[in-house]
Amino acid sequence: MTANRKKEKIRYNPRLQNFFTSKWIHVIINPLCEFTYGRYDVKKTKKSKESVQGFTLVELIIIVAILGVLVAILAPAYTKYIEKSREATDLANAKSAYNELMINIAEKEETPEPISFKLKQKHPGWQSPLPITVGSASFDGTNTDNWVGTPGRNGTCVVSYDKNKGVIFTWSGGTEDAAARPTYKGEFDRTLKTLKDGYNLLSNANMNNNKAYYSNQTFKIDGKQYTTRVYYADSPVFKKALEGYTPKPASYDQSPFCKVENDYDHFTHQGFAYYTYGKDGSINMFTYVNENKVYQTTDEGKNWQDITPNEKWRIIVTIQKVVSRKGMNSYE
């Protein structure tokens, strides 16, 4: 009987009831509950559900536009990064072939058999910064006795040995690349004479600074006549400007030489061109770029190869043209 009374006394004790219903217990309990289980407010939850909305059409258009700009900006850098990775693989394979050839030379007295391998890279020429060195051979933009040709899509590299020249790396593009890049005939005699005469002036100061160019040079490719400024690509200033450059359709204003040359002359040139000399004063390589095409000749203008990048570059080139035209007045 006494125990029951104690239970009833505890259960219905007014002081305990006042304690559990007082504001102080809520001050202690509520934060603990919020910390453990998270805050839950029925009124606010209902309100938040009612306030949830999707994106408007304008917001979606803005987001898509921003994504498009980001893709246009990042795509060239990403493509260039991937191509450099492929080139790194090709150069590593070339180094392995070189080492194998040197072992064969040490073990055999006669000339060893050449070693060849397929290239991984997809774009013609080199995207990696120059000079490129493999074993005892080096390439700084000009072909030598030990470094011959230009790599290309589905191409090959042949590593051979000559008793007089040493190890020779011969690079070439594959048949698919040749088929995709048509070859045209051209007329180049007048410009060729000007450039060959310039070989005798290589010691001149102007051939080693930002004045190393010839203006108003005219030539024909596939029957079409072009007039442009031609830059000597091995001039130290222009050679540095070409580091990391990938030939693609561009105007004169977009050339890598435009911002470093001493005389801006937009109105008289269709695109731009650059060249290098061979050891004997021949024109080793001549590249012409305009807003639609990129042409290159390695036989002094007899044959011109279309080396314009693939269609995936066209959107990027179009954006670059718009940006360039808006900023053109800054040069005038």
* Domain match, 109 and 167 both: yes
Q: What's the confidence (pLDDT) of residue 23?
A: 53
* Domain match, 215 and 266 both: yes
Scored b (16 or more CB within 10 A) or e, 303-315 reads ebbebbbeeebee
* Domain match, 317 and 220 both: yes
Q: What's the confidence (pLDDT) of residue 332?
A: 41
* Domain match, 207 and 294 both: yes
Q: What's the confidence (pLDDT) of residue 225?
A: 93
Cβ-in-10-Å burial (0-12, 13-18, 19+) of 235 comes to buried
pTM: 0.48
Count of structural domains, the chain = 2
Closest CA to 171 of 275, 78, 302, 298: 298
Ranges under pLDDT 70 in the chain: 1-53, 109, 174-181, 265-268, 310-332
Q: What is the domain range of residue 168? A: 61-176
Q: What's the confidence (pLDDT) of residue 43?
A: 47
Q: What's the confidence (pLDDT) of residue 91?
A: 93
Domain boundary among 176, 211, 234: 176
Q: Establish whether the linkage from the previous residue to 131 is cis, with ω within 30° of 0.
A: yes
Phi/psi of residue 9, nearest 5 degrees: -65, -40
**Residue 312 carries which DSSP code?**
G
* Domain match, 146 and 219 both: no
Q: What's the confidence (pLDDT) of residue 317?
A: 46
In this structure, are residues 230 and 198 in contact, taking their beta carbons and an 8 Å threshold?
Answer: no
Q: What's the confidence (pLDDT) of residue 262?
A: 80
Q: What's the confidence (pLDDT) of residue 15?
A: 56
